[in-house]
Structure formats: C-alpha cells, structure tokens
Chains A and B, each alone.
Chain A
Amino acid sequence: MILAVVSGKGGVGKSTLSFELAAALGAVVVDADLGMANLPYAPGPDLHDVLAGRADPVEAVRSGGPVSILPCGRTLAGARAADVRLLADALRAVEAAHGDVVVDCPAGMRADTGVPLAVADACVVVASPKGYALADAVRTRELARELGCGLAAVAVNRVVDAVPLDAFADVLGAPATEVPADARLSEAVERFEPVVASSPESLPSTRIRELADAVRVSGR
C-alpha cells in the first residue's frame, strides 16, 4: 500500500513519524517535501531527478540501511524543475518493486500535498497536542477525503501532558494514538536509527507499532 503522512501545519514531526512508520512497516520512505526536504540525503539520483524525468524511481531508492529511503534534493532549482504529477507513477513503481511505501508529505494544502493524497491508499494525520490541532487535523482529513484518500490513523505527536485522544478519534473517525515527546525520537532521523529498531521496548516504539497496526488494519 501507499501511505501518505500529512499534517496541516509544519513542524509537528511528520518526517520523524514517516521514518519510524516505514521502519515498523518494513516500507520505503519517500521524502516528498520537494521544497523543504529534511529526511537524510545521499549523493546520487533523488526525487527531484525522478520528477524531472532524469532518473528511474526504483533506482533512486537507497536500500540496505535500517530503512529504505528515496531521498529528495535540496535545491530550489530542482524543486522548480520537478513536475509533481509524475509522483503518481513514481510511487506506484516503487510500490511494485519494493512493497509498501510511506510518503512524507509537505505541510499545507498545495498540489505537492494533494498529489500524494490522490495517489495514496490511506493517510496518517499527524497533529501536535495544542488547542488548534484538532481543527487542523479536520481540515487535513477533509482534503484527503476530497482526493479520495481514507484516514487510517491519527497520531498526536510530542505529547507531554494528557490529551483528549477520544475527542480526536470521535471527530476524525479513526483510531488516535499519542506518541510521547522523547529525545530518542528527535535524534532518530539524524542518526538514521529508527527508535523501533534501536529501542524496541520503549514507549515511543510501542506507540509507533500501534500506529503501524492501525495502518495495516485499514489496508485490509
């Protein structure tokens, strides 16, 4: 399946959760934030090249590490040259070759978020544990619904104090999981070591596996 990880606002931890979810699902993570990519980069063909028709999507996937990744270039010129419409075929090609795909989407509601949603089988909405987060999550779910993408789960990320998870689940109509704020999570992407692999018994790891289970259930 192709899973889109989305949020209304930026900075809520989409990239971290995409990385961890990909590790938990054994999927390829695609860094689709064309203008503001932040998953690790590796020299060689990247998503900018793929979307400009200069590289094969399957060959641009780096496997062998703890998580297989299709990195995204960092240049504005690359972001401008990329035709986001080609993302549909690229994601399907990666899915055919490698199995499940987790797409780390950009924040906001422009076409670079919409195209992954139009292609994906399901999405996970990431929200911060703030007062406005529920309204953001509702708007993002509406966009996903408009583009024919079902909501698999809601992740309330970086939770410190108790959050009304039931309200999230009721309003959004999907299982809600809280992921605690944890230094290991914030370092995971930088070190390229997912918490689900490096600290499998930890609370963050348990919660991410819960999310992954909810995604698997929705995919059936």
Chain B
Amino acid sequence: MHTDIDVTADDGVALVSVRIDNDSPVARRLRVRNRLDGPVLPPRRAGVPEPGWDDEGFDGVVPAGSTVALGYAVALSPSADRDVAPTDVDGSPERAVDIEVLGRADESERAADSTPEDAVRTLGSARPPADAVPVSSDPSSTVAESGAPESATPEPTHATTPESGDERPDPLSQSERAAASDRTGPSERPTDADVSSALEAREARGHETDQSVQSASLATVERRIELAERLDGASVADAAAALSEADAGVEALDSLDADRARLRRLAARATALADRAADADPDADALRRLA
C-alpha cells in the first residue's frame, strides 16, 4: 500500500488530494480521516455526497493491483490564522490526513439495496431551476434587483397553479435556510449545508446582481486607490488637501490590503474566463445553418 497526499490551501479552504496504490493481489478496505481543523466538504453528484463519504472522511475499497484517487475540500476554521495554516499544511501534507487500512475487503459487504441517495446521485436532481421559480411574494426587493429573467416568468406559473391562492406565499426554503445559516453567526464554522445553501442562494440571486455589485465596488475601490496614490510620499500640505477633497477618511486606507487580495482574485478569475473564452470557439455559422 503506497499513499501520496497533497494539500493546497487558499482563502480559507484547503484542497486535499490523496492517491492510494494497492500493490497487493487482494482488494483492501481503508478509511481516510480528515485531520485538518474544519468540516469535510466531500465530492458530490447532484448535490449528494459520493458513496463512502461522510462528515469524517472516506470509507471504501481499493481494488487489487489498482489505484484510487480521492479529493475533498476543508473549510478551515476562521479562528485559525490563515497566513500560518497553509504553510503548515503545505510543509507536512501527511499530517492532514489519517489513512487506516482495515484489511482485506469482503465481497459480501456491498449493500444490494439502493437508497434514495443512490437514485438522486445516478439519475440527477429533478428540481425546477431557480430561475423558473417566481419571486412574486416580495416584489419590492427582488424584482427591482434582478430584472428581466425573473420578472418574465410569473405568468406560466400562475397558469399551472390554480390553487396557489390558498397556499402561503412561498419564497421557498432558500431564504429560510439562508436565515438559518445567518443565525449560526460568523464565529461558527461553515458546515456542508451552509455552503450548499449559500451557493444556492447565490445561484438564485442570479449573475446580473453579482456583476452590478462588482462594478459598483470597483468604482469605490478605485477611489480608495487614487487617494492612496496621492497620499503616498506626499507632503503634509498635499496630504491634508487630498484628504479634505476625498469623501473618505484615512481609515478607508485600512482596507487596502483586502482590496489588493480581492482584485488579484478577480483578475485571476477574469484571466481564466478569458482563456476559456479563447479556447471555446464553436463554429457559429454552422450552428446557425443548423438552427
């Protein structure tokens, strides 16, 4: 049994990959336990963790003479110092994971019955997409924010829901779940459920709001950076003039470090997207002819 463990940490999330070679002539059962400080975010299909994963880690079988590759994420505890944690795990990745070989795998251990989780995993979720769900119950905030895609949808839903009048308004459990995760407070670690509900809530909000938020905050960041540039190496008189003209005070400069990190992330994401856009080049003319 040979194992190879790799850990990369970035922005409060550690990505752990484990490679296990079984060079023996029999299948072996093993247990992989996470030892990093945070909840395990297992690989998922259709929102359901892959077979063998639980809150602690992975439990499964490596076939004879074969290799199994595993990967999961850990939301590192916010209380841990983020600058220290990555170097710590990078330096000794084997301390991040505890691998225990439980001996020879028994053929009869496989459960014959399929579970609802198996069904969802293999067949895919049948939920209607978030964009198809009308948000009529709270027109003041949501419709104004999200614009076209959602305000166009209520009509077909009313046609299919003659009885909807007597049901309670249903902006669905996303908001409830979001509220629930808010209640847990910032001091607690994010659980798996929190992460998925946050993702779902973001998905529901739509990409347009994301964009507008980004462009609005870019302008704010730009003003802060301009102020910082004017103050850099300026004389007392110049600095006083700059501060009196600017609508922000010196305390605005405190967030410069955070701004720098955010902008770098945004730039990395934009570059990655541009690369993908350059690579994906379908034959538009042929597709048009097809349509």
Contacts and interface: CB of A to CB of B under 8 A. Distances in A.
Contact of A74 (B118, B127, B132, B164): B164
Interface residues of B, number: 35
Interface stretch (A9-17, A77-85, A155-163, A204-212): A77-85
B115 A74 contact: no
Interface string B119-133: 110111111101011
Nearest to A82: B127
B155 interface: no
A151 B46 CA distance: 27
A119 B118 CA distance: 11
Question: Chain A interface mostly helix, strand, loop or mixed?
Answer: helix
A73 B124 contact: no
Interface stretch (A18-26, A95-103, A109-117, A129-137): A109-117
B170 A78 contact: yes
B116 A87 contact: yes
A75 B170 contact: yes
Given A41-B163, A43-B166, A146-B114, A79 B128 contact: yes
Interface in B83-140: 112-120, 122-128, 130, 132-134
A73 B134 CA distance: 15
B170 A119 contact: no
B211 interface: no
A34 B126 CA distance: 9
B157 interface: yes
Interface string A145-174: 011100000000000000000000000000
Contacts, number: 100
Contacts of A113: 123, 126
B173 interface: yes
Interface string A30-41: 000011100001
B118 A118 contact: yes
B141 interface: no
Contact of A85 (B112, B120, B164): B120
B164 A111 contact: no
A76 interface: yes
A138 interface: no
A186 to B, nearest CB: 19
A57 interface: no
- Residue in A75, A78, A106, A119 with the greatest tally of chain B CB atoms within 10 Å: A75
B181 to A, nearest CB: 15
Contacts of B220: none
B119 A117 contact: yes
B167 interface: yes
Given A43-B166, A114-B120, A117-B119, A79 B127 contact: yes
Nearest to A41: B163
Contacts of A119: 116
A43 B170 CA distance: 15
Interface residues of A, number: 35
B208 to A, nearest CB: 20
B160 interface: yes
Contacts of B123: 109-111, 113-114
Given A80-B133, A85-B116, A74 B172 contact: no
B162 interface: yes
Contacts of A74: 160-164, 167
Interface in A47-89: 52, 73-82, 84-85, 87-88
A110 B173 contact: no
Contacts of A88: 115-116
A147 B114 contact: yes
A99 B163 CA distance: 29
Contact of A81 (B118, B163, B172): B172
A76 B167 CA distance: 12
Rank and list the top 3 A-B pairs by shortest CB-CB distance, nearest first: A114-B119, A110-B126, A112-B126
18 contacts: A35-B128, A74-B162, A74-B163, A75-B170, A76-B134, A76-B160, A77-B171, A77-B172, A80-B130, A80-B172, A81-B170, A84-B116, A87-B116, A110-B126, A111-B123, A111-B124, A111-B125, A148-B114
Interface of A: 34-36, 41, 43, 52, 73-82, 84-85, 87-88, 106, 108-115, 117-119, 146-148
Interface of B: 46, 48, 112-120, 122-128, 130, 132-134, 157, 160-164, 166-167, 170-174
